[in-house]
Amino acid sequence: MIELNNITKYYGNFPAVTDISFKIDKGEIVGLLGPNGAGKSTTMKMITGYMPPTSGELSIDNYDIVQQSIEARKKIGYLPETVPLYTDMTVYSYIEFMGKLRGINSKTIKNKVNNVVEICKLGDYRNSLISKLSKGYRQRVGIAQAIIHEPEVLILDEPTIGIDPNQVVETRQLIKNLSGEHTLVLSSHILPEVSTICERVLIINEGEIAASDTIENLSSLVSGTSKIEIDIIGSPQSVQTEIEKIDGVKAIDLWVKKSTNEFTTFSIESDISKDIRSEISKTIINNGWELLRLEAMGMSLEDIFLKITTTE
Amino acid sequence: MKNIILITLKETKTYYLSPMAYIVGAMFLGLTWLFFNTSIVPGDINPITEANVRGYLDPTTLLFIIFSPLITMRLFSEEEKLGTLELLFTSPVKDIEIVIGKYLASAIILTSTLMCTFFYVLLIYLFSSPDLGPLLSAYLGIILYGIATLGVGLFASSLTGNQIVSAVVGTVLLLLLSFIDSLGAMLEGLPSTVFNEMALNYHFDDFTKGVIDVGNIIYYISIAILFLFFTTLNLQIRRWK
């Protein structure tokens, strides 16, 4: 659906994006991650046809974004980072205008506007001036204009930035609900957001793709180990010695994370290729300890992100 | 075409919903009323010699130097400031359609403001019997003059995200274009002719005399088209930056 081949973008002499290539298939939900200034917004601006790349090829559903720009743009719904709105228009007339601009005819426009107003929960504010709305509601109006024409590709640049936590949760839910019908590209530097919404993550750092994979694969790729936590009632010393005997456990990675009067929490790291959970439970039962919790801990996106953007 | 109409309607509506429309309109009508009064009411200095509209339409052309940029200043500058230009640019609309749509809106606004001055014409008719010919040709001239200045104003608006700067740049450009014939007066031969022909004012006189010269019509329309072209070009250059 979206294809970038060797895309480079210079602002004057400054390379914002250098030689990136990736492909996003129909229906995929992809998170574009990266620190501020990494090139996320630039990449999105090129995908949406706002600015042409300095070199390389970019196509949306096989329409070249420069040569067949109008066709390509018809497929796209876009919410820029700044949430641009005509503040002197009402919510309804703004969405209607944007819908018509995207080619919706005047017969169906009314239904479609009502529909997105409902989806984005803007009903109470449909006749309010946009300048009177709070940031969170403006964000929803921004999303509404991006989906009014039911685009095949939905590009959201930092959709939850600058709104209060309650509205963040609602906005995320809204985006998640949308994801079924569209190919969705979302940029963010808020990691939990990406991990809750996206199937695949593209990490951009200093204008280059640093990694591209599912969150699960990325975590194993980065660490090479899997992490297990157990809460256990029993003598910490003997637990330590017994578990170290299990094949695949690296002694150095076995440590007491937390110790209370009732139980001790151990963190165990082992080789990714081996699942040692059954071995651990057997050892525990054989020694007569009491197991309160055994949990495989995936690496958090924060860990992955830091590892990729700082080591490379 | 559909996109052009859509943008034109939206811009016209937005303009008339803003207080700016009425401030600019009132100022324009106030000043033209003043011109009309001084031109038509006989006095020692200005004895009335004929019943026509030349006396107040001549200085009205000068008003356009200030008023046209005031009408056009928000058309692109505001989009730039709000960031909505990004939405227009990523919608399936050609740049030229955006430019023409906005331009037509400004033309509608200017023409409708000018329509209000028909009241003066009515007054002339009530108290005298002017020639219809020169009157119509003068109004044709003033509308053409107006739409040429709007093109320049729109171009100025596309240069900056600041409305004030846009209005000032527009006014400066229009001053240059209006009075470049005074440069022509100082020279001789071909350069003189070139500067004269370039000037907005130079082509207006004939209209007030009741002469409709196709060359003059083409001149004003060309100025408008030229600056619309510059505007489109400027927008495209900005995309590449």
- pLDDT of A223 reads 57
Mean per-residue pLDDT over chain A, rounded: 84
Nearest to A84 among B14, B86, B92 (CB): B86
Q: Tokens at residue A266, please? A: 């151990």
Closest-CA residue to B228 (of B89, B82, B107): B107
Nearest to A80 among B6, B14, B86 (CB): B86
Of all residues in chain B, the one with the smallest CA distance to A72 is B92
Is A41 domain-assigned? yes
Owning domain of residue A185: 1-75+152-223
- Residues A212 and A230 placed together within one structural domain of the fold: no
Closest-CA residue to B177 (of B220, B216, B207): B220
Q: Which of A1-5, A229-233, A275-279 is the least confident region?
A: A275-279
Average pLDDT over residues A35-56: 89
Overall domain count for chain B: 1
Residue B240's SS3 state is helix
Q: Tokens at residue A128, please? A: 């309010």
Distance, CA of B90 to CA of A60 (rounded, Å): 13
Probe site for chain B from A93, A101, A106, A158 (most B CB atoms < 10 A): A101
- pLDDT of A312 reads 43
Segments of chain B scoring below 50 in pLDDT: none
Is A43 domain-assigned? yes
- Cβ distance of A70 and B241 shorter than 8 Å: no
Residue with the two structure tokens 């919404």: A197
β pairing state of A76-79 and A2-11: unpaired
- pLDDT of A43 reads 92
- Cβ distance of A52 and B88 shorter than 8 Å: no
Query: Which residue would you say has higher pLDDT here, B67 or A312?
Result: B67
Closest-CA residue to B230 (of B156, B170, B178): B156
Q: Which of A178, A206, A223 is the last residue of a domain?
A: A223
* Banded model confidence at residue A310, pLDDT cuts 50, 70, 90: low
Residue A262's SS3 state is coil
Q: Tokens at residue A182, please? A: 């569209």
Query: Which residue would you say has higher pLDDT here, A285 or B172?
Result: B172
Is A259 domain-assigned? yes
Numbered residues of chain A with Cβ closer than 8 Å to any chain B Cβ: 11, 45, 48-52, 70-71, 73-74, 76, 78, 80, 82-89, 97-98, 100-103, 145
Dihedral pair phi/psi, residue A211, rounded to 5°: -165, 150
- Residues ≥6 apart with Cβ < 8 Å to B54: B39, B134, B138, B208, B209
Q: Which residues on B lie below 8 Å from A85 (Cβ)?
A: 82, 84
Alpha helices, H only, B83-162 = 85-90, 95-115, 118-127, 132-159
Distances (CA, A) of A280 to A175, A220, A223, A273, B158: 40, 21, 21, 16, 69
Q: Which residues on B lie below 8 Å from A50 (Cβ)?
A: 86, 89-90, 239
Stated pTM of the model: 0.82
- pLDDT of A252 reads 58
- pLDDT of B62 reads 87
Is A84 domain-assigned? no
- Cβ distance of B90 and A48 shorter than 8 Å: yes
- Residues A33 and A162 placed together within one structural domain of the fold: yes
- pLDDT of A197 reads 83
State the virtual CA torsion across B16, B17, B20, B21 in degrees, nearest 10. Answer: 10
Say which CATH number the domain at A263 has.
3.30.70.100
- Residues A2 and A64 placed together within one structural domain of the fold: yes
- Residues A173 and A129 placed together within one structural domain of the fold: no
* Banded model confidence at residue A204, pLDDT cuts 50, 70, 90: confident
- Residues A138 and A42 placed together within one structural domain of the fold: no
Owning domain of residue B172: 2-41+50-240
Q: What 8-state DSSP symbol labels residue A54?
A: S
Strands (E), A106-180: 153-157
Overall domain count for chain A: 3
- pLDDT of B92 reads 93
